[in-house]
Amino acid sequence: MHFLLAGLGNSPYPLTRHSVGHLIVDSLASRLGISLRADRSTRGLLATKADVDIGSQIVTLTLYKPKALMNISGKPVADAMRFLSVSPSETIVIHDSLSHKPMSMSPKFGGSANGHNGVRSIVSALGNNMDFHRLRAGIGRDESDAARYVLGPLSPAEREFWGPNGAGIELVWRGLTKIVTGSR
C-alpha cells in the first residue's frame, strides 16, 4: 500500500498559520529520518520511505510539499498523485483550518472544501473528486481579516506543538493510523 501525504502551505511564508501543513511534513520527515528533495515532475519537495509501520500495516509513505502557493496547489498535488500512481483514496492532505481551535487535529474524508481555497484547488484539479483524506490542523481565528490572520506567524507554542517532538505530530500519527487501518 502506498500513501501520499501532501502538506499545503505558502513557501514564501514559512512558519505562518497558512503553512502549518508544510511544517507538519517537515516534522514527519525528521521523525522518519528522510530528507525532502526538489522534484521537477511534481513541482515540489518530495521524500519517500518504504516499509513504514503504521498501525501494524507496512506501507510506503511519500511526503510532499507543493511549491505552488496555497490557492493554486491543486495541479501540483494532482500531478504528484499521477507521478506516484496514487489514487485519491490513498492521498492525505494536511492543511490549516480556521474552524478548529489552535493545536488540534481533525480528520475528514471527502466532502466540500469548507471555504479552504487550497482544498478547493485540489478538488478542481481532480475533476471535482473529493474522495481524499484530510487532516485539518486547527489554527483558530480572531476578529481580524482572515487573509491577514492566516499569514500571521505561528506562536512559539504552536511551532513546538507541530515540531518533530511535539504533541501535534502524535495527533497526526494517530490520524494516519486511522486512515491506513481503515478505522475512521
Task: Give the model confidence (pLDDT) of 60-110 as tens digits.
Answer: 999 999 999 999 999 999 999 999 999 999 999 999 999 999 999 999 999
pLDDT score, position 112? 86
Q: Domain span at residue 138?
A: 2-181
Complete DSSP assignment for 89-129: GGEEEEEEETTS-TT-EEEEESS--TT-HHHHHHHHHTTS-
Distance between CA atoms of residues 20 and 11, nearest Å: 11
Check which CATH number belongs to the domain holding 156 and give it.
Answer: 3.40.50.1470
- Cβ neighbours, 10 Å, residue 31: 14
pLDDT score, position 183? 73
Dig out the grid coordinates for 82 from the structure.
Answer: 499521477
Say yes or no to pLDDT of 165 above 90: yes
For the chain, how big is the Rg over CA atoms in Å?
15
Cell 506567524, residue located:
153
User: How many structural domains is the chain composed of?
Assistant: 1
pLDDT score, position 184? 57
Identify the weakest region by mean pLDDT among 36-40, 97-101, 163-167, 180-184.
180-184
Helix 117-125 crosses helix 74-84 at what angle (to 10 degrees)? 50
The active-site residue out of 2, 18, 22, 100 is 18
pLDDT score, position 75? 96
Say yes or no to pLDDT of 150 above 60: yes
Q: Is 18 one of the catalytic residues?
A: yes
Distance between CA atoms of residues 178 and 170, nearest Å: 12
Helix 167-181 crosses helix 20-32 at what angle (to 10 degrees)? 80
pLDDT score, position 76? 96
What is the rounded average pLDDT of the residues 123-136? 94
